[in-house]
Amino acid sequence: MDKHRLLAENILNACGGVKNIGVANHCATRLRLTLNDKSKADQEKIKKIPGVMGLVTRGDEYQIVIGVDVGNVYNEFIKLGKFEKGGKVREDGKKNIFGGIIDFISGTFVPVLPILVAAGLVSAVLNISVTFFGLSTETGTYIVLNAVNNAGFYFLPIFIGYSAARKIGINPMMGAYLGAILVHSSIDGAAGLDFLGIPITQANYNTSVIPIILGVLFMAVIDKGADRVIPKEIKFFAKPLLVILIVTPVTLIALGPLGAILGNYVAAVLIFINTKLGWLSVGLIGALTPVLVMTGMNQALFPVVFASMAEYGYDAFVMTGMLAANVAVGAAALSVSVKSRNTDVKALSFSSGLTGVLGITEPSIFGVLLRFRKPFFGAVIGGGIGGLFAGIMQVKQYAVVSPGIAALPTFIPTDGSGNMTNFYLAAATIVISIAVSFAATWLLGFEDVTDEKETSGTSLQGEAVKGQIQEGTGTITSPLKGEVKKLSDIEDEAFSGGMLGSGVAILPAEGKLVAPADGEITAFLPAGHAIGMKADFGAEILIHIGMDTVKLNGKYFTKKVKQGDRVTKGQVLLEFDLDAITAAGYSVLTPVIVTNRDDYSNIIFDTERNVDYNEDLIQVL
């Protein structure tokens, strides 16, 4: 089975099934699920799913941290549940008001970030090209790239209008329509306008976010009212007409100017805090950003950043502090990678650490730092000290791009002066944050995980096992008769790379599967090809008959038990037609793995041997 589909299946089951999903969406690293009934979801089970780095809950929303591969898992999740992409958040049930606000802001801004990242990096490319390579501002190349950059920010109300309307559950094109009206040349910044004799306050709406958000929220109220009063026979054309004719003047006369004023006040408050606390404020952002990311509250700072950008053309507070924080998080993970002796930890820490120093920190935070705890404090120390330096030196970022090494060019001033001081100070911030975080993590240390490769291959009856039996130790017997092979022999990186757990592969000689221990069947997929169980001694075991056999849709598989059943060692769980599956072109090499390997200090097994039913296969210590 494809690793993304397996992960999606496990998440869906742990969240209570298809009928318990109200909304399915995702951001850069998290699968975001709004649940109809939280009591039907098993948080501990979700956290233990192989491939899940962590879980953040906020109200009815479960944010399941997966990493940069979340898009693939989301696509499989949508297919499994036959969900529509996006969708309306259900209106029943109570939500925490603060959590609801954070959820709305996050859900509105996250989909827009790719546009802002692209526009911001193009701005950086232009700065470099003009400053170092003599690109003339009169050339067609500059004009085109400048348009790419400006369009991303100038038409921001259109993008935000679409995203906010989609998030709140009304026609997103109407939200975009309202945004387009605000930035229209006859409205944006126009003086002396009135509507039915009521004066319209002059306001600049391009690059703004608060006016369009207020307008869309008001549009949602009118949209619901229009649904109730307009007959369905004429609703198709009457509803959008009525909505836009009501929302537009109210937005221009009241909400838009109010939003512009609020935006100015937000920027002023930001500068006030930055001025009064000085360099300390940036240091606090640098230290606290990992905590904000854990709770999802970092998304709530976007309006503050945009207000500052619109008013001053740069941000010297939030984004600068996050520059120090992001690279510090990545450096802490890299420190774990260098110091750990576990090959799996090394690989995960290295990949997530690189992602972190480039600007995306969730994989490092949830996959490494929280797992080992002390490295989290190393990142906080590094981010705080790097932020203090950036605050003292008044480092500024000139484009909204997730701060990190990849975004370093966005710290070049956009005034065309060629002054590189700010850029060099940003680079120094990165160096300081990385160095301090790496060193602090190294000195704080962490409880390393014993590498299974140091013990795998040791005889189950050998001296390495004697005297080590303790509570929580147990033996998994062979569920199949056949030849024991290494997981690396499987042509599926989710299994061969150990992403889903540790154990062995068996090439079955017969089409019968028996229970490898006393315990409970925790999962039995409809296609019959994969079964999960929890042994009474604690091991969580996954057995997957062949690869891609889910495509057989249960053909050639006969279940003998069902999910939730208690079973005893040696009890027949499944029968399958080995010859027919092989003839159909599917590999029957079957992984038998312990998915909760982090609960054990050692996982011991032999490979390259023949095994019969109920013979000792894997021992966990």
Residues labelled catalytic:
27, 544
Q: Which among 403, 399, 260, 394 has a CA at the least distance from the CA of 329?
A: 403
Interacting residues of 106 by C-beta distance below 8 A, sequence separation 6+: 27, 296, 299, 300
Residue matched to tokens 């290295």: 350
Q: Shortest CA distance to 77 belongs to which of 68, 85, 87?
A: 85
- For 536, 546, 618, the CA distances from 467, given in Å and listed in that order, are 22, 36, 17
Structure tokens, 292 = 């904000």
Give me the DSSP letters along 539-560. -EEEEE-SSSGGGGTTTTEEES
Q: Which strands make up the sheet holding 474-477, listed edge to edge?
A: 474-477, 616-620, 603-605
* Structure tokens that stand for 436 in this block: 């301090």
Helix (H, G, I), strand (E, B) or coil at 607: coil
463 burial level (CB within 10 Å; 0-12, 13-18, 19+): exposed
Q: Are 178 and 251 in contact (CB under 8 A)?
A: yes
Q: Is the dihedral of CA 565, 532, 522, 528 positive or negative?
A: negative
Task: Name the residue among 541, 489, 492 with its Cα closest to residue 520.
Answer: 541
C-alpha distances (whole Å) from 10 to each of 34, 129, 318, 431 are 17, 48, 37, 40
User: For residues 613 and 480, what is the distance between their CA atoms, to the nearest angstrom?
Assistant: 5
Tell the burial category of 470 from Cβ atoms under 10 Å away from its Cβ (0-12, 13-18, 19+).
Answer: exposed
Show contacts of 426-431: CB within 8 Å, 24+ apart.
426/320, 426/323, 426/390, 426/395, 426/397, 428/389, 428/393, 429/320, 429/323, 429/324, 429/386, 429/387, 429/389, 429/390, 429/393, 429/395, 430/323, 430/324, 430/327, 430/357, 430/386, 430/405
CA angle 256, 261, 264 (to 5 degrees): 125
